[in-house]
Amino acid sequence: MVVILDYTYSNISFGESLGQDLYIDEYAFQVLDDEGNVLGGYPIYDDNRTPKRVPVGGKCKASATFGVPTESTNLNVTFTRGSEKVAKIVVPIK
C-alpha cells in the first residue's frame, strides 16, 4: 500500500535575521506503521505537491509519499528538526 501524507507549513519568523527561507521535505518526518516498521519514501512526483522554500510570511502545501508493507490503519509520524524530535502525532489512514 502507498500513502500520501499531506502537510502545510507556514514561516512565521524562521531565518528572518539571516534572510533564509523555511523548507520542510519528507526527510523531516519519521514515519512508522502500526507494527513499528520505519517507512521509506515512495517515488511519486507531482510538482503541485512538492515542498517549496518559504520566506517569512509565506506558506506551502506539500505531500510526502510512503510505502506501507502492512495492513495498518494509522501512521505514527514524528516531526524532526536535525536530530531533535519536535512533535509526534498519529494519523489515521483513509
Give this prediction's pTM: 0.85
C-alpha cell at 39: 517507512
The pLDDT > 70 percentage for the chain reads 100
Residue 11 vs residue 16, higher pLDDT: 11
Task: Please give the average per-residue pLDDT across 44-70, as a whole number.
Answer: 93
**Alpha carbon 78 to chain centroid, angstroms:** 9
Residues of the chain with pLDDT > 90, as a percent, come to: 80
pLDDT in tens, 40-49: 988 888 888 9
pLDDT digits (tens, 9 = 90+) for 27-39: 999 999 999 999 9
